[in-house]
Amino acid sequence: MSTVDVVERLRASLGDRVDTTHESLQSARADKSGHAASGVPLAVVHAASVDDVQTTLRIANETATPVVTRGAGTGLAGGANTGAGEISLSMRRMDRILEVRPDDLLAVVEPGILNADLNAALAPHGVWWAPDPASRAISTVGGNIATGAGGLLCAKYGVVRDAVLALDVVLADGRLLHLGHRTVKGVTGLDLTSLFIGSEGILGVVVGATLKLRRLVPGELCTIAATFTDVRAAAAASAAVTAAGIQPAIMELMDAASLAAVHAHLGIDTPPAGAAQLTIQTDGPAAVAEADAIAEVLTVAGGTVAVTQDRAEGERLLMIRRSMHPAMEKLGTSLIEDVSVPRSALPAMFDEIARVEREHGVVIPTIAHAGDGNLHPNFLFDSAPDEHGIIDVPDEIWVAADDMFRAALRLGGTLTGEHGIGVLKRRWLADELGDDQWELQRQIARVFDPRGILNPGKVFAP
């Protein structure tokens, strides 16, 4: 069947929810990484219901047409990029909260709701959903689930995998499955819910989620800002906090380059040359005592430490961390990366990043969720995006990134803590998994999608 016939079949069933405008097709090619699929998709389907998703996948399966599921397009690994001959299935219009049960600490939502909008709606009920990616104001819950997102609060409150009880998913052939349970405990059969979390759209399409909520945290909120002479000292101090058995809600690290860039972006005083900063928050009934204990650890580690219980001041300090990406945009074009290492290995990983900078002649401003060992190195280079905001990463940057990825693996780490594999990291996946596990995972994907139409070319290298 021709591509024209596929689009006409979609239109006959879905009407004006099938979008072939130039702007929409170009937008579907890329995500926030700045990378894009080659060519232009056939159409963007703006699904408004589970039935729309099932209809789209039935037509796609019958015609062997690839489908790429998309939320808000805020991913950083190219996982939602849609190219030539493919259908972009947008879930953004499916954004309802279907049920909130504060007594059972759960909510049932559609995948297109924004993370921040969900928590704004939950707050009057005295509950919240804990995953807290830096993109929370613009990323969807479905996208958070697809990538296994994390964020600033996950060291204490867990990642998406810890906050989902059940999923409704549509398979490649249009069948609807209900995975998981509404109960706190549930071990019937294999845990297919967890299998879908972080699967990046290669197993099926999430059309509903039953989320595990938490009560809003009572008590004080304390924020600690600690400045160190260099990033290795700051990393060692963060590891010392972890080793001391104290559990902050947030523990973020900014190296000298990222800290200086953000200060310049926000127009605040320039930090001392080479200085790195830890920003830490404690919450709950023991917040003050925990903050005092952390401040003592940081002081012994050589930090210049300030503690505040003022929530507005705490939010101002966190805004410095959250302003990283706009600050990087002012420095040039960047490849935004994501690796994780054991928390005790953070100082060694920063040493490795410094080595990569020296040996490859690149600049890599780096921030880290120090509470869980997740680093975000930003490889800077001179290459302006094209008219569609799409960038072409030079080969020498990929060579430097390869060196950095392999260093993380040597330290017992992983290629990605929260961004996913997408297209940008698929060439390294077998290096971490090994050939046998790589092949086994690929075969599992084919059980769910025998024709290989869901997000082809993503995660597993062709």
Per-residue pLDDT tens, the chain, 462 aa: give them: 667 799 999 999 999 999 999 999 999 999 988 788 989 999 999 999 999 999 999 999 999 999 999 999 989 899 999 999 999 999 999 999 999 999 999 999 999 999 999 999 999 999 999 998 878 888 999 999 999 998 888 889 989 999 999 999 999 999 999 999 999 999 999 999 999 999 999 999 999 999 999 999 888 899 999 999 999 999 999 999 999 999 999 999 999 999 999 999 999 988 999 999 999 999 999 999 999 999 999 999 999 999 999 999 999 998 998 888 888 888 888 889 999 999 999 999 999 999 999 999 999 999 999 999 999 999 999 876 666 667 788 999 999 999 999 999 999 999 999 999 999 999 999 999 999 999 999 999 999 999 999 999 999 976
Indicate if 71 and 202 belong to the same structural domain.
Answer: no
- Residue at 107 is within a domain: yes
- Residue at 456 is within a domain: yes
Q: How far is the C-alpha of 115 from the C-alpha of 349, rounded, in Å?
A: 31
Indicate if 320 and 347 belong to the same structural domain.
Answer: yes
Indicate if 296 and 397 belong to the same structural domain.
Answer: yes
- Residue at 159 is within a domain: yes
CATH value at residue 117: 3.30.465.10
Indicate if 123 and 255 belong to the same structural domain.
Answer: no
CATH value at residue 325: 3.40.462.40
Closest CA to 336 of 290, 374, 388: 374
pLDDT score of 354:
97
Indicate if 325 and 374 belong to the same structural domain.
Answer: yes
What the block records as the tokens of 266 is: 């926000």
Indicate if 70 and 205 belong to the same structural domain.
Answer: no
Q: Which of 65, 90, 115 is the last residue of a domain?
A: 90
Q: How far is the C-alpha of 400 from the C-alpha of 378, rounded, in Å?
A: 11
- Residue at 418 is within a domain: no
Q: How far is the C-alpha of 378 from the C-alpha of 365, rounded, in Å?
A: 5
Indicate if 305 and 397 belong to the same structural domain.
Answer: yes
- Residue at 332 is within a domain: yes
- Residue at 300 is within a domain: yes
pLDDT score of 163:
96
pLDDT score of 342:
96
What the block records as the tokens of 347 is: 């100082």
Secondary structure E strands in 232-322? 250-254, 276-284, 304-308
Range of the domain at 429: 425-462
241 alpha-carbon distance from chain centroid: 25
H or E segment to which residue 165 belongs: strand 164-170
Cβ distance 284 to 217 under 8 Å? yes
Q: How far is the C-alpha of 460 from the C-alpha of 435, rounded, in Å?
A: 12
Backbone angles phi, psi at 367, to 5 degrees: -120, 165
pLDDT score of 152:
87
- Residue at 419 is within a domain: no
Number of H helices, E strands in the chain: 16, 19
Model-level pTM? 0.92
Indicate if 345 and 227 belong to the same structural domain.
Answer: yes
Q: Which of 90, 110, 126 is the last residue of a domain?
A: 90
Q: How far is the C-alpha of 4 from the C-alpha of 9, rounded, in Å?
A: 9
In 3-state terms, what secondary structure has residue 298? helix
Q: How far is the C-alpha of 22 from the C-alpha of 388, rounded, in Å?
A: 11
Q: Which of 90, 117, 147 is the last residue of a domain?
A: 90
pLDDT score of 134:
78
Q: Give the count of domains, the chain.
A: 4
pLDDT score of 329:
81
Indicate if 180 and 241 belong to the same structural domain.
Answer: no
- Residue at 417 is within a domain: no
Q: How far is the C-alpha of 337 from the C-alpha of 334, rounded, in Å?
A: 9
Strand pairing partners for 106? Answer: 101, 212
Indicate if 269 and 334 belong to the same structural domain.
Answer: yes
What the block records as the tokens of 315 is: 């939010």
Q: How far is the C-alpha of 205 from the C-alpha of 111, rounded, in Å?
A: 10
Indicate if 309 and 251 belong to the same structural domain.
Answer: yes
Indicate if 383 and 455 belong to the same structural domain.
Answer: no
Cβ distance 364 to 379 under 8 Å? yes
Q: Residue 10, by phi and psi: left (phi above 0), alpha (psi -120 to 50) or beta?
A: alpha
